[in-house]
Amino acid sequence: MTEMTTRAWLLSDAPQTRRQARLGAIYQGWLTFRANKLAMLGLVILVLLVLMAIFAPWLSPQDPFAQNLADRLKPPSSAHWLGTDALGRDILSRLIHGSRITLFIVGTVALIAPVIGLFVGTVAGFAGGWVDQALMRITDIFLAFPKLILALAFVAALGPGIGNAVLALAITSWPPYARLARAETLTIRNADYIAAARLQGAGPLRLLIGHVWPLCVSSLIVRVALDMAGIILSAAGLGFLGLGAQPPMPEWGAMISDGRTYILDFWWVAAMPGMAIFIVSLAFNLLGDGLRDVLDPKGAKE
């Protein structure tokens, strides 16, 4: 097919097959997303972040762990584009390698927390009765505590480290997704197609997996994208307090903590990782707004 023929095939008002309808919906969503310039900017930044993490060993101008006290606290220059820290380590190289830690945190939490929330919320909304009450009261207990404070408690119990920090963030991040999934389930559990599937012999598990979960996923994706900025800030907060990634790992929050002593005289030591956190957090927010326009147009209008 030529480009024009393919475009017409994707945008057809009367798709001939399920595959054509599915691909057409994806293409229309992409056109809507592409029209949002800020969302595209966020996507570009995150793609560059992923590429930077993948090719970190080749992009880093120097060894991120190599110490050179003769070059300690050097300002940005041609030799060190973003300056050096108190141990003479190149800040740019540490930021590039630190992007791997950021993506690890974001990816792990994005895989664990929404899945837990989806399961708890849909089971509560679909089952109702005492099951709903019990699961939602547990959810309310988690929501009663600030997420960062609860994460601090889990990390204090499990011990400092990037793995425990990620696990603590995932455990404390699922309640909002459970609430959202339950609300979606309550609106669709009495729908006609659910009743028709039940009459055909579909059991509760099949109804949940085949009919309820697919309709909740789009809202969860939007919520996950919008929550990633908060997760990055929480992870940076744990690193700043020394409960996340441990030295000499180049975690951005820990880098800010290392530079806070010199922030008045050697501002770049703390400012550069802080700027990296700001840019990535902004990119996730812009991406989330664009995904909301595509996946939840009713919510976007409201």
Domain ranges of the chain: 74-301
Q: How far is C-alpha 266 from the geometric centre of its chain's CA atoms? A: 32
Give the count of beta carbons closer than 10 Å to the beta carbon of residue 214: 9
In the 8-state DSSP scheme, what is residue 262? G
State the CB neighbour count (10 A cutoff) for residue 187: 11
pLDDT in tens, 52-80: 999 999 999 999 999 988 989 999 999 89
The whole-number pLDDT of residue 4 equals 57
For residues 111 and 216, what is the distance between their CA atoms, to the nearest angstrom?
15
- Residue 278 contacts residue 236 (beta carbons within 8 Å): no
Say what the pTM is: 0.88
Burial class (CB in 10 A: 0-12, 13-18, 19+), 62: middle
Rounded to whole angstroms, how far apart are CA atoms 63 and 252?
16
Q: pLDDT, tens digit, for every residue of 139-198? A: 999 888 888 888 888 888 888 888 888 889 988 899 999 999 999 898 888 788 788 888
Torsion sign across C-alpha atoms 138, 149, 85, 69: negative
Q: Of 23, 14, 32, whose CA–CA distance to 291 is shortest?
A: 32
CB-count burial class (<10 Å; 0-12, 13-18, 19+) for 239: buried
Considering only the top CATH level, what class is 74-301? Answer: mainly alpha
- The reported pLDDT for the residue numbered 278 is 95
What DSSP string describes 196-251?
HHHHTT--HHHHIIIIIHHHHHHHHHHHHHHHHHHHHHHHHHHHHTTSSSPTTS--
Are residues 142 and 172 in contact, defined by beta-carbon separation less than 8 angstroms? Answer: yes
What was the pLDDT predicted at 302?
A: 44
Residues of the chain where predicted confidence (pLDDT) is lower than 50? 299-302
